[in-house]
Structure 1
Amino acid sequence: MIFSLTLNAALDRFLYTERLTEDDTVRVERVKDYPAGKGVDVSRVVNELGGHSVSIAFLGGHTGKIVEEMLDEEGVVYATVRSDKETRTNILIETKKGQYRLSLPGPVISNREVDKLFKTVDILLRKDDYLLLCGSVPEGVSNDIYRQLCSRMRGIGVNVYIDSDKEPFSEGVKAGPKGIKPNTHELQRLLKRDLKGESDLRRAVQEVSEKYSIEEVLLTMGGKGALALLSGSLYRINVPEVPVKSAVGAGDSFLAAYCMSRELGETAEVALKMAGAASSAAVMTPGTELCNYNDVIELLPRIEVKRL
């Protein structure tokens, strides 16, 4: 079973308008809400692709209930860790000229709520399960939370993957997760240096794997595809050029499709092809709709995986 964890879940509210005009009334033509958060996105993708996943997330207040209702509508199974505070809402404004993202402050999580999280994870997770620790850490939660959870779960044989950034990520890798999924910017921040060119990126992926004893490093590079270091073998994933409507969730789709395929017993090459197809399909949908199953299947033959 694949479990995702979202500590900083949100409701993403997309406002569609022709243009933003200073000091004048802006008419919003359409409003669309999505359940959001990297781990939530992972579980939504697994569900869309026909797999089985449970989304674990802090949710609270009226907004938290809206997120639950939306997950119910999609058929996504979730385990809410109830928070006393209101789940945050992000405002995304889409115009003809581009997209503007307003990220509102999240709730302050209490120690009692963190304790509930640990109890929930301890009850749900079993040996050989997958736990994907995704996204940012809200106020009130220690930046070493991913390291704590990783150590706890690896001790019972859970396959832990981390997809985060900055201190929560740099702390989390110290516990030696089975895998990580940074993008290029996140990898640079982890190593605290600029990476120039693919040769540099290949060396960096191997460096991180060796330094932190991480078996699998999945590096997504946007439209340039991805690199993957799996048990010492390096792979290059090439993706086709597709029409881009929104880049939101492409990396989450990659991780979700990859882990779902491996959990089902697929080979590395098959799992990476599925991941490349899912990430490419995700950018073809607006907002945070993520990938569509039919698009993924159509794109699969166009994904190239080379062992280097």
Structure 2
Amino acid sequence: MIFTLTMNPCLDRYIYVDDLKLDDTIRAKKVVDYPAGKGIDVSRVIKELGGISVAISLLGGDTGRKIEEMLDMEGVIYTTIRVSVETRTNIILETNSGQFRISVPTKKVSRKKLETVLEVLNAIVRKGDIIVISGSLPTGVSPDFYTGIIFALKQWGVYVYFDADGEKLKSGLLGGPDVIKPNQHEFERLVGKKIEKFEDFIEQGKKLILEYNLKEILLTLGSKGALLLANDEGYFAKPIDVPVNSAVGAGDSFLAAYVLMRDKGRYEAFKWANAAGNAAVMTPGTELCKKDDVLNLLDRVQIERIY
């Protein structure tokens, strides 16, 4: 079974307006809400591609209930850890001149609820299961929370994919995940330097694999393509020329497809991941990839073995 864990979910409210005008009434042309948070997005994409997963997340208040209702509508299976604080709502303004993203700060979650996360995982996740842990943490939660969660899951025999940034990624690596999925900027922050040469991504990736005993690194490079790095082999996927509406959710779509298709082998899973990631940028707002788009792009994905 595939599980996802989202510690800091949100509702993304996408508001379409013509222009932002100071001291004037701005009338929205359309308002669309999406259940969000990286792990929730992964579960939604897995469902879209015909797979099954269980989305575990901390949700609170009316916004949390709305997210549950939206997941019900999409047919996504979920387990909620109810918290006393209202789940945040982020605002994305789409105007004729560009996109404005307003990220609302999170609120503190009690220590008891954080302990409940481990209890829930212990109750439902079993040896041989797969879990995707991704995204940020609630306000006040130390990055080493991820260290402990991942370490415990590995002790239980669970296969762990991990997708985070900054100190959270560094701390989570100490727990021993099997696979990480940084984008270029997250990767550069992890290794502590700007990377200019393609070969340096490979070199630095191999060092991380050895240092943290990783099975794979999935490295998305935006318009430059993507890399799959392992100890014994590596692959590069060339970028696909597709109409770009929004890059939001592309990384989550990429990871979801890879996790779902991994039992077909690295090459095939990597192919699906790249098709899904590129399909996601074709959709507006924070919409994720659509299955038909993924299927149409599969034959256009070009992958070469690099070692």
Partner SS state of residue 254, structure 1: helix
Shift of 1:205: 1.2
Q: Which residue of 1 aligns with 2:289?
A: 291
Q: Deviations over 1:99-127 (max 9, x none)?
A: 00000111211101001111111111111
Query: Structure 2: any 5+ residue segments left out of the alignment?
Result: none
State the SS of the aligned residue for 1:51.
Answer: coil
Partner Cα distance (2:168, 2:26) in 1: 38
Hey, what's the Cα distance between the residues in 1 that align with 2:7 and 2:296?
A: 34
In structure 2, distance between residues paired with 1:301 and 1:230:
24
Per the TM alignment, residue 304 of structure 1 is displaced from its structure 2 partner at its CA by 1.2
Question: Per-residue deviation at 1:149?
Answer: 1.1
The residue that corresponds to 2:270 in the other structure is 272
**Residue ranges of structure 1 left out of the alignment (5+ in a row):** none
Partner of residue 88, structure 1: 88
Instruction: State the alpha-carbon separation in 2 of the partners of residues 124 and 223 from structure 1.
Output: 39
**Percent identity of paired positions between Structure 1 and Structure 2:** 48
Aligned equivalents of 1:283, 1:117: Cα separation in 2? 32
C-alpha RMSD of matched pairs (Å): 0.9
Is this contact kept in 1: 2:127–2:156, CA < 8 A? yes
Which digits, 9 at most, give the CA deviation of each residue in 1:146-179, with x for residues without a partner?
1111110111211101100011110001122100
Cα offset, 1:224, TM superposition: 1.5
Q: Indicate conservation of the 8 Å contact 1:234/1:307, yes or no.
A: yes
Q: Distance in 2 between matches of 1:233 and 1:64?
A: 42
| CA distance, structure 1, for counterparts of residue 108 and residue 61 of structure 2 | 13
- Residues paired across the two proteins, number: 306
Letter in 2 for 1:204: Q
Q: Deviations over 1:254-302 (max 9, x none)?
A: 111001111xx20111000000000000011111210000000000000
TM-score, normalising length: structure 1: 0.97
Task: Tell me how far apart the structure 1 counterparts of residues 184 and 30 of structure 2 sit (CA, whole Å).
Answer: 34
Are 1:119 and 2:115 an aligned pair?
no
TM-score (normalizing by structure 2): 0.98
Name the CA distance, whole Å, in 2 between partners of 1:231 and 1:201: 14
**Secondary structure of 1:14's aligned partner:** strand
SS at match of 1:223: helix
Counterparts of 1:197 and 1:26, CA distance in 2: 46
Match of 1:153 in 2: 153
Asked if structure 1 preserves the Cα contact closer than 8 Å seen for 2:209 and 2:230, the reply is no
> Is residue 98 of structure 1 aligned with residue 98 of structure 2?
yes
**Poorly superposed stretches of 4+, deviation over 3 Å:** none
- Find the residue that maps to 2:59 and give its secondary structure: strand
Give the letter for the 1:258 counterpart. Y
Alignment match, 2:255: 255
Alignment of 1:157-196 (within 5 A): 157-196=157-196
Contact residue 247 and residue 281 of structure 2 kept, 8 A: yes
Question: Are 1:57 and 2:54 matched, yes or no?
Answer: no
Q: What does 1:24-35 correspond to in 2, within 5 Å?
A: 24-35=24-35
Query: 2:209·2:231 contact (CA, 8 Å) conserved in 1?
Result: no
